[in-house]
């Protein structure tokens, strides 16, 4: 339930509608370090054993449905032919799929799910194993078993790494508001990310809404309670370390970046 609340609050933050800010420069108080353009990304690599998911016997259940799941861009980077995706009802595996790679590079899984008529409307748990990262993920979004469904948008999902992995079991949505005055001009190649003890735990995407800024997810572990923001300015050729720290533990984190 807490996971669902987090995702609802995150969706509400993303749904706010927008306005632009000024590109006029101001004096920065944030520490700045000149560096080459970074390649920030969460390190999803782990050593989780590959699961031995098995399809149920064709004669065991009288109903079925289909689900089309696409990996988001971040997980596509660590996808491999050894990937697997499975779906569970009441703790039992009801469908398994291998990855299919589209010409545009998208990685999708078409899962044929089996169940009984009495299970109609039951929530289903989606699990993904990344062969490239050797990491197991659970999706907090739980679609309902809907026999003989049509493949409309309700049954076409995007699997995102919103925590719930064995390596990073916790996550929190974060919304960072962009101040009107900046010590740089915005440019292609700008990037903001969240770090815990020097390790990237989330790359934020720039959004233009009622509160222009950056949105994303922070993944973390039990016992980790603080994080920091870093921003790479392509124009300045360096990284600003945002002064105010992030305290983990809230349902949603909202703050203004103070450069």
Evaluate whether residue 49 is within a structural domain: no
Report the CATH number at residue 19: 2.60.40
pTM: 0.78
Q: Could you report the per-residue pLDDT of 60-96, keeping only the tens digit for each? A: 999 999 999 999 988 999 999 999 999 999 999 999 9
pLDDT-based confidence at residue 21 (cuts at 50, 70, 90): very low
217-237: average pLDDT: 95
> Nearest CA to 84 among 116, 117, 48?
48
Instruction: Name residues whose C-beta falls within 8 Å of residue 28's C-beta, 6 or more positions apart in sequence.
Output: 183, 184, 240, 259
Percent of the chain with pLDDT over 70: 87
pLDDT exceeds 70 at position 154:
no
pLDDT-based confidence at residue 148 (cuts at 50, 70, 90): confident
Per-residue burial over 170-208, b = 16 or more CB atoms within 10 Å of its CB, e = otherwise: bbbbbbbbbeeebbbeeeeebbbbbbbeeebbbbbeebe
Cβ atoms within 10 Å of 145's Cβ, excluding its own: 24
> How many angstroms separate the CA atoms of 240 and 238, rounded?
7
Evaluate whether residue 54 is within a structural domain: no
Domain boundary among 127, 159, 191: 159
pLDDT-based confidence at residue 11 (cuts at 50, 70, 90): low
Instruction: Say if residue 72 is in the same domain as residue 154.
Output: yes
**Would you call 74 helix, strand, or coil by DSSP?**
helix
211-237: average pLDDT: 94
Q: How many independent structural domains does the chain possess?
A: 2
pLDDT exceeds 70 at position 97:
yes
- Least trusted range by pLDDT, from 6-10, 26-30, 136-140: 6-10
Per the structure, the complete domain to which residue 203 belongs is given by: 2-42+168-256
Q: Could you report the per-residue pLDDT of 160-215, keeping only the tens digit for each? A: 877 568 899 999 999 999 998 999 999 999 999 999 999 999 999 999 877 799 99
Q: Give the pLDDT of residue 23.
A: 43
Evaluate whether residue 51 is within a structural domain: no
Evaluate whether residue 69 is within a structural domain: yes
Q: Give the pLDDT of residue 19.
A: 36
The region that residue 131 occupies, defined by phi over 0 for left and psi between -120 and 50 for alpha, beta otherwise, is alpha
Instruction: Say if residue 176 is in the same domain as residue 118.
Output: no
43-69: average pLDDT: 94
Instruction: Say if residue 153 is in the same domain as residue 177.
Output: no
């Amino acid at each position: 339930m807490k996971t669902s609340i987090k995702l609802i609050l995150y969706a509400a933050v993303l749904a706010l509608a927008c306005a632009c800010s000024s590109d006029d420069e101001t004096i920065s108080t944030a520490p700045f370090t000149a560096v080459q353009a970074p390649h920030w990304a969460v390190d999803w690599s782990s050593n989780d054993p590959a699961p031995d998911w098995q399809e149920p016997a064709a004669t065991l259940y009288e109903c079925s449905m289909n689900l089309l799941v696409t990996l988001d861009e971040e997980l596509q980077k660590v996808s491999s032919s050894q990937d697997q995706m499975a779906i569970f009802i009441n703790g039992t595996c009801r469908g398994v799929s291998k990855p299919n790679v589209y010409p545009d590079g998208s990685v999708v899984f078409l899962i044929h799910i089996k169940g009984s008529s009495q299970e109609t409307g039951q929530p289903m748990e989606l699990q993904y194993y990344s062969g490239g990262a050797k990491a197991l993920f659970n999706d907090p979004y739980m679609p309902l078993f809907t026999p003989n469904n049509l493949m409309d948008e309700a049954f076409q999902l995007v699997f995102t790494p919103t925590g719930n992995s064995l390596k990073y079991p916790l996550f929190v949505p974060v919304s960072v508001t962009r101040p009107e005055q900046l010590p740089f001009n915005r440019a292609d190649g700008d990037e903001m990310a969240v770090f815990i003890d020097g390790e990237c735990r989330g790359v934020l995407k720039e959004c233009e809404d009622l509160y222009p800024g950056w949105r994303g997810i922070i993944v973390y572990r039990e016992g980790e309670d603080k994080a920091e923001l870093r921003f790479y300015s392509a124009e300045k050729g360096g990284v600003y370390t945002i002064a105010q720290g992030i305290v983990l533990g809230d349902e949603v984190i909202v703050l203004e970046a103070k450069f």
